[in-house]
Structure 1
């Protein structure tokens, strides 16, 4: 997929730029070439290969080699969960990040990064580029973190649980020890689960050794390669805790200012292209991954009862309402996203659901 993507990138870039409403401006002025370092929270896998590295390749192509980005794995350029700090301080000029990792600084990051009451992958594309979500994101990052940020990846709907016990109802969930992260760590606790936060490197082992009863991680594609289905019998869907999410690419403000306007525009185009490419890549992997789960016969597929889904929605709304009372930026982003959700509610009245025809 990567080689084919690279071969056609110039044609795709031009077409997609106009489709997204971004002008491919002539290079009126060109700054000197730069070589930057990118900090990431990823030790390997999809998010560094399909996300960070492809973005770096796109930037180099679209800027005609004037901006070269070297991608480094988690922990190389500062703490894995403090990518924003690495970019702020100039340890890295660029970061590839999930904004909810800045949970301890500002919980608004979950609205942009993905949460239980948030958007599906399709809705993310519409909200970011039709409704001003990307501009709001950039404004939030600049005001709170003093970095330039653009969306550069749309994520999949996750598997709700790889679990040692079936979960269908709220009663099944009570007292269950679950590895999770972000907003769901608090929302799930409010629903009666016992939540555990741990580094990604420990998740498989914790599930295998039954340190936890269940874990959430990613969509079927990523989870297949992680092998969670080999150590836990039950696969629970749908992923009400994380309907989707988004990644950001952030830039040190001083480094960004040294670029020409043309190259800044091309980097913005690269971010938009990556939201599309990740949407396509993760969707393909997830369709294949879920088919594997169903056909392999090693696991029991479990579907959450509608009563659980309703309870999760209610708990998520209550959690967000409380955050909005305490945080002006959270309130602004939450209300902006919620207004779009109400607007897009008519979608189902004139568009058939994916896979329904």
Structure 2
């Protein structure tokens, strides 16, 4: 159902008939920055706007309503009505979450969007989260490829990765360790201090633009691209099942459609701002380093190998991975018929 269809249906049958009668709490994993501003808060603003003020969401920073890395648990337990997170934070409970959140073996963000909304990904995500985590789930926010590292040390080759103390999250913890790094995980709000004090040598977090606000460029001289560990990163809206069950189908559709709208808007915003951001780092005195092809190929290989092993152990992982692999086959010739050569460089 479209946004407009959902709005028109509200008049006939709604669980929130008065302005401001639905007031919900949203837990997040973010202290601030674009994930908060054009993700969680943007969703709250759009939902209030499109519902005519009937639906209001109070957004809380990471840690305010529960652990910043345990948002889905906070929502499931009813401490928050909804939450905004990266699903891969729950990889320790079920590695299938990584397939929905993106990993070294993923396709790019455009293909991920197509798989989610046209290739059956949204339906799989909803079913998986409800059955295995007892929450309702929809995509909310998506990144383009991340920065590989903001680092206190130059990193170009596989040799440079050996023993590197890097902050990361999700399955890249295992994958980067397999490539020789020494990974740790920490919430986003704690990264700057750890990097400044030298507790870690390097960090990954978001895209070029997203990483301006945390200030990593001030405490890490080297900017390493591209983010082979995270070619795409869809984020997630989770909702408490009891709260969800009280809503009319029209209001449920409005929430789902608002999440989809904000996901597309975040993709467009980040893409545009990333294009402007590389010069910012140069002006800050950062050295921009391109990863050697050997690192990029090895990360992809390790990612695919890891996924194959997970599929052998998990029916859910195997099911989602198969869907993504079938999508990749369908799009195998996309670059051939979509990309026009204009200057001899593409």
TM-score by length of 2: 0.92
Offset at 1:141?
0.6
**How far did 1:284 drift?**
2.1
Q: 2:277 and 2:258 mapped to 1: Cα distance?
A: 27
Match of 2:125 among 127, 137, 142: 137
1:62: how far off?
Answer: 2.0
Q: Which residue of 2 aligns with 1:30?
A: 14
Residue of structure 2 aligned with 1:191, choices 179, 182, 186? 179
SS at match of 1:26: helix
Residue in 2 that maps onto 1:209: 197
- The equivalences for 1:89-108 within 5 A come to 89-108=77-96
Query: Offset of 1:307 from its aligned partner?
Result: 1.7
- TM-score, structure 1 length as denominator? 0.89
The 1:25/1:135 distance shift into structure 2, 3 A limit, reads farther
2:250 counterpart residue number: 262
Cα distance in 1 between the residues matched to 2:72 and 2:31: 17
Task: Tell me the residue number matched to 1:304.
Answer: 291
Say if 1:42 and 1:127 are closer, same or farther in 2 by CA, change over 3 A.
same
Corresponding residue of 1:42: 30
Q: C-alpha separation between the residues in 2 aligned to 1:190 and 1:338?
A: 24
Question: Is 2:133 the counterpart of 1:149?
Answer: no
| SS in structure 2 of the partner of residue 226 of structure 1 | coil
Distance 2:83 2:137 in 1: 9
The alpha-carbon distance between structure 1 residues 24 and 117, as it changes in their structure 2 partners (threshold 3 A), is: farther
Once the two structures are superposed, what CA deviation does each residue of 1:269-290 show, in whole Å capped at 9, x if it has no partner?
1011011111011112211212
2:110 to 111, 122, 131: 122
Q: Secondary structure at the match of 2:183?
A: strand
Contact 1:125 1:275 in 2 (8 A): no
Q: Aligned residue for 2:318?
A: 331
Q: What is the total number of aligned residue pairs between the two structures? A: 339
Query: Using the alignment, how far apart are the partners of 2:169 and 2:124 within structure 1?
Result: 24
CA offset digits 1:37-83 (Å, max 9, x no partner): 11111122211121111111222222222222111112222222221
Counterpart position of 1:246 = 234
Separation in 1, partners of 2:118, 2:148: 29
Matching of residue 110 in structure 1 with residue 128 in structure 2: no
The residue matched to 2:9 in structure 1 has which SS?
A: coil
246 and 144 in structure 1: CA distance in 2 versus 1, 3 angstrom threshold:
same
Gap runs ≥5 in structure 2: none
Q: Which residue of 1 aligns with 2:332?
A: 345
Structure 2 counterpart of 1:63, from 43, 51, 54: 51
Distance (Å, rounded) in 2 between the aligned partners of 1:92 and 1:31: 19
- 1:158–1:218 CA contact under 8 A, matched in 2: yes
Contact 1:98–1:113 under 8 Å retained in 2: yes
Alpha-carbon distance in structure 2 between the residues aligned to 1:136 and 1:163:
36
Q: Could you tell me which runs of 5 or more consecutive residues in structure 1 were left unpaired when the two chains were aligned.
A: 1-12
Corresponding residue of 2:155: 167
Asked if the contact 1:157–1:219 (Cα under 8 Å) also holds between the matched residues in 2, the reply is: yes
Distance 1:172 1:76 in 2: 38
CA deviation after TM superposition for structure 1 residue 25, in Å: 5.4
Query: Would the aligned equivalents of 2:30 and 2:188 in 1 still touch at CA under 8 Å?
Result: no
Q: CA RMSD in A?
A: 2.2
Q: Distance in 2 between matches of 1:100 and 1:190?
A: 18
